[in-house]
Structure 1
Amino acid sequence: MFQTFQLQSGPDHVAERVKALRALMTKSKLDAVLIPRADSHQGEYVPASAERLQWLTGFSGSAGLAVVAKKSAILMIDGRYTVQAKAETDTTVFEVSLLPRARLSEWLVSTLGKDQTIGFDPWNHTGAEIARLKTALAAKKIKLKPLAKNPIDTLWGKARPKPPANPVIAQPLALAGRSAADKLVEIQARLKTDGQHAAILTLPDSICWLFNIRGSDVAHNPVVLAFAVVPASGKAELYIEPQRLDAETRAHVAPVAKLLPPKAMAGRLAALKAQGKKVRLDPETASFWFEMKLGTAAISRGPDPCILPKAIKTEAEIAGARAAHIRDGHAVARFLAWLDDNAATDTLDEITAVRKLETFRRETNMLRGISFATISGAGPNGAIVHYRVTEATNRKIEPGELFLIDSGGQYQDGTTDITRTVAIGKPTEDMKRHFTAVLKGHIAVATARFPKGTRGIDLDPFARRALWAIGEDFDHGTGHGIGSYLSVHEGPQSISRGGMAPLQPGMLISNEPGFYKVGAYGIRIENVVLVTPPEQIGDGERQMMGFETITLAPIDRRLIVVDMLDQGERDWIHTYHRRVFETLAPQLDQATRDWLKQATLPI
């Protein structure tokens, strides 16, 4: 299995570990310490050796930050983790707050005294974070002190897992669609245009994209943890232990990059600084450590130059994504048919469902991994947005409830992400009404037409209007970017209240509105869509982009209130379901084909 169900952490050791940290703080003359979820690469997912926040607080979510002061402590999380955080940490030690990190400074100013000192690991915070904090704390003269060693690592000791050192593999040109050399030419041209001598790359997916390499250093993400320096001219430098690349991968990388051990990075930065070079560094993604080493004069602040070109998929990547979603659709259709066949047997639970879906994906014989831990939520667990089932929380899938399953696969030609909400037995009228409102929002996004320059924030209300009309909403974004055999969450594009990046043809993005009735059920309908090129619409004077839905799996017709849909929405459902059946049916076994035919009948 690519997923395990043991409880990863909990509140049992929180009090003693915080007490030990406070003792270390006293010895180091610190009044508070910051403990973020982030590692030195600032990715959403981190290796086991960097799970410092979980080790200290028990909280295992993918976003959060803790602060431990001498007499108080706080765990800051976002709205996805409200229930989870309170269950996993010791709430007698940590206050759990929904305050976003942008307001961390308010807690620090109200908690700490004048001239007190906060310790932080410069590898685990971005330059932008530290700059904002310094400004906010200046009035009270609270100091930020970069630490030479992370105090959690000291306390964790020999029990801390070793950093990953897994093999690096090449991503074939046939799947990437562009050579590393071609990508390097584009990045170097950008540097020259911007008057910069070099760029520092710290994001694993940017580095993997640029050099057409993949790895397995982080669970569910086929990335390599490494750093890179890209000069405006000449070969790039890839900072990774050379023995991690076999002869074939070395030959793949050699034409475009020199291989150097990570310990050589500090010396390289010192040389760039001494030579008076202008070095591009992304303050929103690069660790503060790089700013310490380069110094203000050498830094030319700007976004990671790989982020945008990586998000605009090549024709080969688009073809791969379509193929991966068809393959994944076969597995999901088999799973949904199996679920319907067994739902009334009183033998199903959340873990059984996860295992069965992974089995169907494995039977494609092309699965490289899952793209995130499957969210398998029965009844009230479906209302926990990022619920992760464990042996302790595993719940039966009962008649009269809704079952939400959000999952994805990593295939070498594409990354998938799909959510379906299924009626187990007879649904209530409220379930159907809420489901149909979510479906209307999903269709509104799927059918949207929009001009060049449209941002995700402009489209986000499309997904919410039907819910707003009945006095409801959801607290997560409507869509996130999707990588090409990379991270399932990719920027800069998103459909959300914070989605400021213009959507461009070739971007992959999820469409996933939802509704969550705490203590009862959750609803989410998610497909991946591709931004299509601008085209003329009738006699219109402006060309419009749109979305092509590439996820293929039926949407539960039993939960649809037909009278809530207008004719255009009904037509979309009919057309989508016809395409699902015609695309998937030829490769399915007879029993699944028969089930799919029923599941995709006109409503």
Structure 2
Amino acid sequence: MNIAAGVSSASGLRRGGLAPTLAAMFESLFQSFEDQADASQTSARVAALRAQLRRLGLDGFIVPRADRHQNEYVDSSEERLAWLSGFTGSAGLAVVLRDRAAVFVDGRYTLAVMDQVDLSVFEPVALAKATPSAWLEENLRRGSRIGYDPWLHTPGQVERFAKAVEAAGGALIPVERNPIDVIWANRPAPPLGKITLHARKHAGETAARKLARVAAVLAGNDLLVVSDPHSVAWVFNIRGQDVSHTPLPLAHALIFKTGKPRLYVDARKLGEKLRGTLSQLADLKEPRHLEHDLEELGRKGKKVLFDAATAPSRLVGIVKAAGGVCDIGSDPIALMKARKNAAEIAGARAAHIRDGVAFVRFLHWFAQNAPAGKLTEIDAAQALETFRRETGKLKDVSFPSIAAAGANAAIPHYRVTIKTNARIRNGIFLIDSGGQYEDGTTDITRTLAVGRPTAKMRDRFTRVLKGHIAIARAVFPKGTSGAQIDALARLPLWRAGLDFDHGTGHGVGSYLSVHEGPQRISKLGSTPLEPGMILSDEPGYYSAGHWGIRIENLVVVEPRSINGAELEMNGFETLTLAPIDLELIEPSLLDAEEIAWLNAYHARVRHELSPLLEPGARRWLAKATKRI
């Protein structure tokens, strides 16, 4: 397919552009989500919710953006917050009282929420100014009964809400059935995505061995409730299709200190061969049996470990009520999963070479077409996905692409829709995207100059680049956390009185979530960084209302040998392969070591990718990676 001929719009294609089926898919995706999260329906939907609450004897209800597993990406049937309020961000929460309602968002969405919700119904509240708990304590009348769905909140969340509601003289009440589900007339059916085995060549370890490792660390607990589907997928070496962008099977599991594990999964998701394979590892049970089984274990006085980050309050309550002992702690699988083995790291390298070829082909196409001023944000997102699909290996994008022109680039987690789709004109264009491949997950951000960048753009971009290079070149002792190196990415900006409001880096899974914990590089990153952990390196700068800058590569922690060192040291290997826009660099702001790093990185990109590119893209890459 000769996509380099260009794309004219999201609905119309020019010669040799995107396949019509892909364009139609994008149109359908954007439009269906907008139809579901329709702010014009907010007033009627909130009125219907309030009527239902009156029937239940409730004075308010808490609406999180969550499913039963606290997933980042949730199935359309779980998008209650978007359906009710119109807010489509990946994190948020609403509180609806009889006479007022508020929607709470973090710093990523303070601008987007103003455009998405009906401001006559919902008051947007920045979490930096007030938490939902504080807002409830301040706004509730004495005697208020506030409802919540115990399947959608963790025990810690419920404890905080209960404390706030009780301080205001009210009561927090669990509901048997979510009242939004009662009034949501055309709610989509729950997903039944097919589950597949994750091949040993990609996993690098058998499921039996992983299960044994988990059982061995349960210590004083009798069993672990695995409530995070990422952990279920990793420990059983399976992948699913129940949510977008992350190959998750929505399922729970019980892993016992002694005895056969149990996997609670809808049998309709399993083929006959897979059912036989999994049956050798675990007892397979339908999800409806989970509550009964936990109640029975509770009656036997078992001590049950729950993951504080993902366990539903509902399940904890069942064990406690039956007389069991609940240990609300950390899922031990999370740290095991974070430390990638040799096969997973090899797969990540292969995925990044493949993804790098696709990304360079996109950059070449963009350089040819963007100067004409006819491309839109959706055109760019479509084009990049097309290049990734042409690899023949793409399973899905790893998150909705952030294709942001001009002022939209100043919104760190901007999500293009048909309504906001901007034309790409002279200035800055930011593209943050990634792919899911069976051998690895990718995530890359590049900021591109369209036309001649201003001196201020070049200054800010180069400061962000200096921070990026500082992380990439960092060496640090064993036991160092992400919080301890986060400042390295900010120092060049701090020296100019500048900063950015998001973390510097998040963990990344192996054909799993593009946002994986517990590892991260941020002011709050307390987990020590260990060899095998994959993270992003993505400092940024945002000029609100004008433009934004971010440079992101993925890196993997590796042991680092230093002559004469008295400590065990670690560093980073950069995985991502794609040029950094030289037009946006002010060389006078870089020191000799930073220039050497950039030239070496570009030489590596050129060496690894050039043999895999067609002649035109190869010639473009040679210019884009020239020495400075």
Confirm or deny a common fold (TM above 0.5).
Answer: yes
CA deviation profile, 1:387-406 (whole Å, cap 9, x unmatched): 1111111111112x100000
Residue 494 (structure 1) aligns with: 520
Query: Quick one: which amino acid aligns to residue 493 of structure 2?
Result: L
Q: Which whole-Å CA distance do the structure 1 matches of 2:473 and 2:280 have between them?
A: 44
Choose the corresponding residue for 1:267, options 292, 296, 302.
Answer: 292
- Indicate whether 1:295 and 2:320 are aligned: yes
For residue 98 of structure 1, what is the amino acid of its counterpart? A
Match of 1:323 in 2: 350
* 1:114 aligns to 2:114 (yes or no): no
Q: 1:44 aligns with which of 66, 72, 75?
A: 72
Query: 3-state DSSP class of the match of 2:468?
Result: helix
**Given that residues 511 and 527 in structure 1 are in contact (C-alpha distance below 8 angstroms), is that contact kept between their aligned partners in structure 2?**
yes
Match of 1:563 among 584, 588, 606: 588
- What does residue 17 of structure 1 align with? 45
Q: Distance in 2 between matches of 1:15 and 1:560?
A: 49
Residue in 1 that maps onto 2:448:
422
* Residue of structure 1 aligned with 2:538, choices 509, 512, 533: 512
Could you tell me how far 1:101 is from its partner in structure 2?
10
Is 1:372 the counterpart of 2:399 in the alignment? yes
Q: Deviation per CA, 1:376-424, whole angstroms, max 9, x where unpaired?
A: 001111111111111111111112x100000000000000000000000
- Give aligned-pair identity as a percent: 49
Query: Which of 373, 386, 390 does residue 346 from structure 1 map onto?
Result: 373
Gaps (5+ residues) in structure 2? 1-21
The answer as to whether partners of 1:455 and 1:500 remain within 8 angstroms in 2 is yes
Secondary structure of the corresponding residue to residue 30 of structure 2 = coil
Equivalent pair of 1:421/1:524 in contact (CA under 8 Å): yes
Aligned partners of 2:129 and 2:449: how far apart in 1?
37
**Residue 191 of structure 2 is aligned with which of 145, 164, 168?**
164
- Cα pair 1:65 1:101 within 8 Å, conserved: no
Alpha-carbon offset, residue 342 of structure 1? 1.2
Q: Are 1:140 and 2:168 an aligned pair?
A: yes
1:179 maps onto 2:206 in alignment? yes
TM alignment of 1:397-408, pairs within 5 A = 397-399=424-426, 401-408=427-434
1:27 aligns with 2:55: yes
| Structure 2 counterpart of 1:204, from 215, 229, 236 | 229
Displacement of 1:539 in angstroms is 2.0
Q: Deviations over 1:433-477 (max 9, x none)?
A: 010010011001111111111111111111111111111111111
Q: Structure 2 counterpart of 1:235, which letter?
A: K
Q: Is the 8 A contact 2:136 2:164 kept in 1?
A: no
Deviates more, 1:251-260 or 1:325-334: 251-260
Q: Which amino acid aligns with 1:231?
A: F
Query: Are 1:36 and 1:53, in contact at CA under 8 Å, matched by a contact in 2?
Result: yes
The partner residue of 2:269 within 234, 237, 244 is: 244
What is the CA–CA distance in structure 2 between the aligned matches of 1:254 and 1:177, rounded to whole Å? 21
Aligned length: 598
- 1:393-542 correspondence runs (5 A): 393-399=420-426, 401-533=427-559, 535-542=560-567
1:155 aligns with 2:173: no
Q: What is the one-letter code of the residue matched to 1:12?
A: S
The one-letter amino acid of 1:322's match is R
1:128-184, Cα deviation, whole Å (9 max, x unpaired):
111122233333332110000101101103x00000011110000110001000000
2:411 paired with 1:384: yes
Tell me, in whole angstroms, the C-alpha distance in 2 between the residues paired with 1:92 and 1:258: 52
- Compute the displacement of 1:102 (Å): 8.3
**2:93 maps to which residue?**
65
Residues 281 and 300 in structure 1, CA contact (< 8 A), matched pair in contact too = yes
- Contact 1:84/1:387 (<8 A) preserved: yes
> Is the 1:376–1:389 contact (alpha carbons within 8 Å) kept by the matching residues of 2?
yes
- Distance (Å, rounded) in 2 between the aligned partners of 1:471 and 1:364: 43
Q: Which amino acid aligns with 1:601?
A: K
Secondary structure of the residue aligned to 2:147 is strand
Question: What residue in structure 1 maps to residue 615 of structure 2?
Answer: 590
Query: What amino acid is aligned across from residue 531 of structure 1 in structure 2?
Result: V
Secondary structure of the structure 1 residue equivalent to 2:177: coil
Contact (CA 8 Å) 2:192, 2:268: kept in 1 or not? no
- Asked if 1 retains the 8 angstrom alpha-carbon contact of 2:229 and 2:251, the reply is yes
How far apart are 1:77 and its partner, in Å? Answer: 0.4
Offset from partner CA, 1:259-313 (integer Å, 9 cap, x none):
1001111110111011111111122320100111111742122211210000000
What is the aligned partner in structure 1 of residue 626 from structure 2? 601
TM superposition score normalised by structure 2: 0.94
Corresponding residue of 2:241: 216
* Alignment TM-score, normalising by the size of structure 1: 0.97
Task: Give RMSD over aligned pairs.
Answer: 1.3
CA distance in structure 2 between the aligned counterparts of 1:426 and 1:5, rounded to whole angstroms: 32
Residue 119 of structure 1 aligns to a residue whose secondary structure is strand
Q: Which residues of structure 1 form unaligned runs of 5+?
A: none
Report deviation, 1:10.
Answer: 3.5
Conserved? CA contact 1:129–1:284, under 8 Å: no
**In structure 2, the residue corresponding to 1:601 is in which secondary structure?**
coil
Give 3-state SS (helix, strand or coil) of 1:519's partner.
coil
Match of 2:18 in 1: none
AA at the equivalent of 1:547: F
C-alpha separation between the residues in 1 aligned to 2:168 and 2:455? 56
Question: How far, CA to CA, are the matches of 1:103 and 1:384 in structure 2?
Answer: 22
